[in-house]
């Protein structure tokens, strides 16, 4: 029996300028360009292994130890058939290659963080799926080429194939051939940029991103304004802030965009609520922290779920976490770093 296997990991990426809305559902083409930061492979990631064998009778997918029916959905099959086509081209050029393109695949994936909880599991998941199969098939395509395939699995996945700061350019063509991810900047160029994830809930969301954005496109008037006038300008400004390493500007744009996206969710009909009371408390906390230090220390962003991602500069970690621990998890001794006067000020910030 002949069996070929490959494994990869792909990290999560968290958008600072949100993708929300499809102009073409089949090809997963977005209504606007977006920007994200890809986290380190050592943090939140999907680990995916694929096996191809002539003895497999169907494509099958196991996610976090449970077999999923999603392998037969259109989006996953779109990724598989594009990858098979590319493998077939290689097999045509070199007839000695095993005919992997004709064999079924078994795919096993595991996320080391909550799935479908607004922490971009579909991004890491489809990026890993496409990268693992490309490795198995020994494809020679560029990352941008692969990003166009991953995009068809889940839009946000196209950005997880690159590290650092990544833009997904919406493109203009109807066939999606120019709707792909490109790297804006490596993390090495802004090495003190850090992200913290505050897990508010591990629960699976009740409205998937796909369903949520379809409803927003169909019913929200605010969404039309966002897409036409807000995002195009912000896309240019955010790339500028990243290249200039202007944290204050980057943070302002990131927070505003998270709020704008959640406002379009609320403006959908019936409304979609991804954030909960704890999420809102975190938003308040971040603004209080920035006010307290009279400097922008932290930016929050929330995807389609209640969990928070905070962006901050490494040198401000102590300043930020003093507050976070104070509010959510009083770690013994944290207060020793602060004067009584400062502690009084912290406390007074949380009084209504
Ligand atoms: P999230 O906010 O976590 O991205 P989505 O609603 O966008 O939530 O997508 C969640 C879906 O993505 C899951 O129900 C599953 O179908 C798919 N998914 C998540 N992780 C993986 C993975 N590692 N491999 C394949 N598919 C995955
Ligand atoms: C709020 O990429 O999960 O996280 O393309 O339908 O799979 P599908 O949606 P998905 O949507 C992500 C929405 C977001 C913002 C973002 O990541 O840009
Ligand atoms: Co998703």
CA of 187 to the centre of ligand 2 (A): 22
Mean pLDDT of the chain: 94
CB atoms within 10 A of CB 245: 14
Residue 257 in contact with ligand 2 by CB distance below 6 A: no
What pLDDT score does 341 carry? 73
Judge if the beta carbon of residue 214 lies within 6 A of ligand 2.
no
Please check the confidence at residue 347 and state whether its pLDDT lies above 80.
no
Ligand 1 near 264 CB (within 6 A): no
The DSSP element (H or E) to which 340 belongs, if any, is helix 340-349
Tell me which residue of 135, 127, 185 sits closest to 159, measured CA to CA.
Answer: 127
pLDDT score of 219 more than 90: yes
Which residue owns the Cα nearest ligand 2 atom 14?
Answer: 303
Instruction: State percent of the chain over pLDDT 70.
Output: 94
Name the nearest CA neighbour of 103 among 67, 55, 70, 136. Answer: 55
Instruction: Count the Cβ atoms, other than its own, within 10 Å of residue 208.
Output: 13
Mean pLDDT of 116-133: 97
From ligand 3's centre to the CA of 19, what distance in Å?
10
Is it the case that residue 137 has pLDDT exceeding 60? yes
Indicate the pLDDT class of residue 41, thresholds 50, 70 and 90: confident
Q: Which atom of ligand 2 is nearest to the CA of 120?
A: 4
Place of tokens 């194939």: 161
Q: What is the position in ligand 2's atom list of the atom closest to the CA of 153?
A: 7
pLDDT digits (tens, 9 = 90+) for 165-208: 999 999 999 999 999 999 999 999 999 999 999 999 999 999 99
Question: Where residue 349 falls among pLDDT bands split at 50, 70, 90?
Answer: low
Q: Using the 8-state DSSP alphabet, how is residue 39 labeled?
A: P
Instruction: Average the pLDDT over 44-67 and give the result.
Output: 97
CB atoms within 10 A of CB 206: 11
Judged against a pLDDT cut of 70, whether residue 352 lies above it is answered with no
- The SS3 of residue 61 is strand
DSSP string, 211-279: HHHHHHHHH-HHHHHIIIIIHHHHHHHHHHHHHTT-HHHHHHHHHHHHHHHHHHHHTSSS------HHH
Which of 223-227, 316-320, 344-348 has the largest mean confidence? 223-227
> Does 340 have pLDDT greater than 80?
no
The H helix count followed by the E strand count for the chain is 10, 14
User: Exposure of 13 by Cβ count < 10 A (0-12 exposed, 13-18 middle, 19+ buried)?
Assistant: buried
List the one residue out of 287, 225, 222 whose CA is nearest residue 251. 287
> Is 217 touching ligand 1 by the criterion CB < 6 Å?
no
pLDDT attached to residue 324: 84
Q: Are 240 and 252 in contact (CB under 8 A)?
A: no
pLDDT digits (tens, 9 = 90+) for 282-331: 999 999 999 989 999 999 999 999 999 999 999 999 999 888 877 776 55
User: Rounded to the nearest 5 degrees, what angle is found at the Cα of 185, between the Cα atoms of 180 and 189?
Assistant: 165
Which ligand is located closest to the Cα atom of residue 116? 1
pLDDT at 34 over 90: yes
Worst-scoring range by mean pLDDT, 112-121, 205-214, 228-237, 322-331? 322-331
Residue 100, burial from CB neighbour count under 10 angstroms (0-12, 13-18, 19+): buried
The answer, yes or no, to whether ipTM is higher than 0.95 is: yes
Residue 114 has pLDDT above 80, yes or no: yes
Q: Provide the greatest CA pair distance for the chain.
A: 77
């Amino acid at each position: 029996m002949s069996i070929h296997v490959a494994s990869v990991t792909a990290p999560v990426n968290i958008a600072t300028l949100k993708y929300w809305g499809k102009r073409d559902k089949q090809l997963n083409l977005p209504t606007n360009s977006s920007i994200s930061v890809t986290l380190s492979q050592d943090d939140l990631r999907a680990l995916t292994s694929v096996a191809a064998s002539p003895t497999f009778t169907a494509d099958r997918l196991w996610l976090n130890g449970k077999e999923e029916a999603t392998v037969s959905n259109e989006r996953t099959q779109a990724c598989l058939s594009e990858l098979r086509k590319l493998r077939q081209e290689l097999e045509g050029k070199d007839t000695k290659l095993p005919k992997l393109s004709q064999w079924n695949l078994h795919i096993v994936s595991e996320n080391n963080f909550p799935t479908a909880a607004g922490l971009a599991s579909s991004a890491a998941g489809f990026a890993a799926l496409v990268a693992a199969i490309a490795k198995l098939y020994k494809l020679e395509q560029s990352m941008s080429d692969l990003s166009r395939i991953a995009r068809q699995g889940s839009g946000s996945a196209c950005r997880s194939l690159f590290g650092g700061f990544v833009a997904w350019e919406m493109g203009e063509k109807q066939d999606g051939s120019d709707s792909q991810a490109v790297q804006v900047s490596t993390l090495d160029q802004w090495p003190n940029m850090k992200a913290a994830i505050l897990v508010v809930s591990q629960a699976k969301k009740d409205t998937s991103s796909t369903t949520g954005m379809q409803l927003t496109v169909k019913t929200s008037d605010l969404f039309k304004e966002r897409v036409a006038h807000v995002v195009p300008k912000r896309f240019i400004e955010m790339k500028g802030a990243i290249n200039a390493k202007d944290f204050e500007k980057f943070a302002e744009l990131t927070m505003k965009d998270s709020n704008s996206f959640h406002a379009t969710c609320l403006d959908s009909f019936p409304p979609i609520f991804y954030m909960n009371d704890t999420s809102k408390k975190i938003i308040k906390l971040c603004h209080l922290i920035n006010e307290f230090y009279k400097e922008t220390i932290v930016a929050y962003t929330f995807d389609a779920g209640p969990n928070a991602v905070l962006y901050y500069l490494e040198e401000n970690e102590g300043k930020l976490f003093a507050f976070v621990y104070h509010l959510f998890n009083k770690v013994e001794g944290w207060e020793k770093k602060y004067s009584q006067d400062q502690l009084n000020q912290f406390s007074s910030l949380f009084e209504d």
